[in-house]
Structure 1
Amino acid sequence: MIDKVQVLSVTPPSNLDAYIRIANLWPMLSIKEEKSLAKRLRYNGDLDAAKTLILSHLRFVIHISRSYSGYGLLQADLIQEGNLGLMKAVRRFNPEIGVRLVSFAVHWIKSEIHEYVLRNWRIVKVATTKSQRKLFFNLRKTKKRLGWFNEEEISIVAKELGVSSKDVREMESRMSVQDVVFNPLPEDDHTDGRNYHSVQYLQDKTSNFAHGVEEENWDEHATNKLSNALLGLDKRSRDIIHARWLDKDKKNTLQNIASNYGISAERVRQLEKNAMKKLKIAIES
């Protein structure tokens, strides 16, 4: 429903300053106005009401996004992600609960920005668990000076954030490491980048090419043996095996097969059992 709102109107343009000025021109809503608009959206699907709710809260997204400016990401991108969170909040907002939309939306706005920062701040993920995410977004705020934490500071931070000292050390280390290019060119390279890939000089010791070829040959051999063994069965037995075991769409029941051949289900079971014995002997021979 909210997805149909003109997203362009809440997407920061190339001129961020102009966007911020325009966003701040939208008047803030009174409690009565906000509740009326939210009811129109919730009960009538009024997209104009949704748009007004969103546009009147863009200034809050801008304010929240500024607290994430220390991660080296574009402010416009942070605002755009926060706007997505605001739109999700508007869609889920219940005016009957008795809280203001801005209080409800803060969680959604921060959640979208958090996900964006974690996806883009490093190529390799720096935070995957709940405690790591908590550390990631609080470590910068807690740090009072440049440089690494000493033992006392680590203990204080760990206590304040409710994590272990080991977690603090590990996250500080992760945040201090910069991404590097996997295939850097040597400084004295004279090939203009041609025919040079550092990955070519790395050994994959976990790979066993011979084992892979052997498995492929064995699979082909087993398939051929099974095909030849099936040809040795009579047509009815072969059809039963196909219907019971080789049909990719579904496995037919004994009763269905019995109905097709006009015999009992028990007789089908006997034919299947005999056919399987013959296949086993043919394959193992």
Structure 2
Amino acid sequence: MGEILEREELLKKIEKICVKARANKNAIDMSEILESFRQSGLSEEQMDNVVRLIENRKIEINPVVDEAAIKDLEAGKAKASPDDELLPLDDESFLKEESEEIDLDAVDLLEGIGTEDPVRMYLKEIGTVSLLSAEEEYALAIRKQQGDEAAKQRLIEANLRLVVSIAKRYTGRGMSFLDLVQEGNLGLIKGVEKFDPEKGFKLSTYATWWIRQSVTRALADQARTIRVPVHMVETINKMSKMQRKLTLELGYEPSVKELAEHLDMSEDKVQEIMQIAREPASLETPIGEEDDSNLGDFVADANVLTPESNVEAVMLREHIDSLLGDLKERERQVIVLRFGLEDGHPRTLEEVGKEFNVTRERIRQIEAKALRKLRNPVRSKRIRDFLT
């Protein structure tokens, strides 16, 4: 790994990428960005910030769409793409399923999902949309390239079942089914916009890449209470996969040291990734067989005083008030203001001086005299036990 880039050099690289993207209709492939920073030594979070900086400059970042891989999928040969590493959870069966062309006629829209009214209504609606033949798809795609919005809309509607088929595979990962479909539909729209019928592959195969990218990006951004950068998701996936592999090989959960050795990372880095990968627990989580208690009932609040501490605090306050009662009224007021004994907000000499319309030096003298009185052994004995 190369040395971490200096800020100026980093910005130059980003600008170079943006210049290249502007020459390509303000778009660039993610693979080109990753290649540009491959030897940069940037962390996952820093790399994610680089991607956001590029996006903030109105540059559209395309997922890695390999035309050769698409043709392999149509031919029935599975080939992993760099995007597979970005899936929020490892899904080894996905490529096997994806290697077969999805038959939209055979898609059972209700299989494997809940049948709540909004879901059923949506699935019923898209189920009425007729599918396209290869000839119709090609003709509509040509018209779409010529700016025909109606043709673009027809291509989108004819492939909504594809989104449902893919969205089913990601249920139970922190987002509702309809939210997954919504994100997948956004990916489908982008796929239709970029589809070129002259490339020789079907829209459904090409759009699959965009749908998956949109869904997995949404899961990384929205599924967790605390967002994990997309590049860190990739690292978490690799670690989880290695953890499962070692568990099968060793017959027990691998230690941090064993994981670090197999992942070629430091133990501190592995522990950091584990910490990031942890899901936060809700304080409302039921505890016990009868579910009559919540987790929050058993979490100690460090800011709450124990009964003993509370009694001591009350007694200390009473003794302090008694000590201050031995002072002259002005001396007592100066000490109270200087140390914030009533409101917890200590004042400066100048602030107290303005209160009494005297100089800060006069306040310092009054304070010093009052403190000498309070330090008298006879008086200070009253609170000495509280300070030991």
* TM-score category of the 2 structures, normalised to the smaller one: 0.3 to 0.5
TM-score of the aligned structures, taking structure 2 as reference length:
0.36
The normalised TM-score by structure 1 is 0.48
